[in-house]
Amino acid sequence: MTYAELTALARSWCNRDEEVVSDSIIQDSLKYAADKAYRKLRVPPLENVAEYEKTLLEAASTTSTSTRLSRTEIKIPFDLIEIIQIKEVDAAGLPTRVWNEKLDVRTFNDPSAEKYTANNYFTRERNVLYLSPAFGENTNSNAGNAIEMLYYRRLPALDAKYAVTVLNYAAGFLTTSGGTTALYFVNGNTTTAYATSTEATASADGAGTNTANYIGTEVPHWLRDENERILLYGALVEIFAYVGDNEQAAKYKLMFDTEIQELNDEDAKRNSSGGNIQVNFNGRGLI
């Protein structure tokens, strides 16, 4: 489903003309619905992995000269909702350890505070994660080569489009319909695009060059393409709140929450099937 089709669908369901509910109100409502869905949805299509390379990690690692405590500082991904796992891997991609203890920032920074495992813990401060002991200080004999963070993410904007680049042209992600950004070609050769006229001219070998304007096609979006009901019901909550129809807003809020709960329950059932499940818990001194 395209973004325009989703906007039209929401208008059809709310049964209001544009003088009452404009397209911009509908599109804002779709955006708000997506924002609320990300707060509650915990399903595999929202999972992503960020990898931090060895050179970056070594530069971001420090050790206190007074306490000998060490830590590594890594930036949080811009689209992060919730962390699932932070692990160190060796050159073969196999895990060498997991930072499995999450501490509040005061406990993390207090060298005299008790840490129940005394190893492999982390905390968050603004847009930074601190991991301790630092990368490269693994007591395991297998040396770490990278850190991988598995996390739940926000998806791109509902109307996000591919950037007009040479690589996206080659992959077939661009169209000339409504295009405003130029790519350059050697005359008679439309298979190879160039980002600048200088590059195209250098490859022309006397054949001459030409240009065409492109725009990116819409980026695939799991909610918009496969679960538009969540966006539709969530948008209708906002639309009916806007027009003051609280009864309809309450009805669609229930439908919105039910759709999200059903998807979460479906994934929970998948996770608990197919074998014996083992989960470790740490009571943090409470039990």
Each residue of 217-238: pLDDT tens digit? 999 999 999 999 999 999 999 9
Tell how strand 146-153 and strand 189-194 pair up: unpaired
User: Where along the chain do its domains lie?
Assistant: 45-153, 175-217
Each residue of 59-115: pLDDT tens digit? 999 988 777 788 999 999 999 999 999 999 999 999 999 998 899 999 998 888 887
Each residue of 26-45: pLDDT tens digit? 999 999 999 999 999 999 99
pTM of the model: 0.87
Strand-by-strand arrangement of the 174-175 sheet: 174-175, 209-216, 181-186, 189-194
Cα(143)–Cα(126) distance, rounded to whole angstroms? 29
Facing residues of 51 across strands?
Answer: 148
pLDDT of residue 223: 96
For 209, the enclosing helix (H) or strand (E) is strand 209-216
Each residue of 189-209: pLDDT tens digit? 999 999 999 999 999 888 899
Each residue of 177-190: pLDDT tens digit? 999 999 999 999 99
Residues 6 or more apart whose Cβ sits within 8 Å of residue 28: 238
For 35, the enclosing helix (H) or strand (E) is helix 23-40
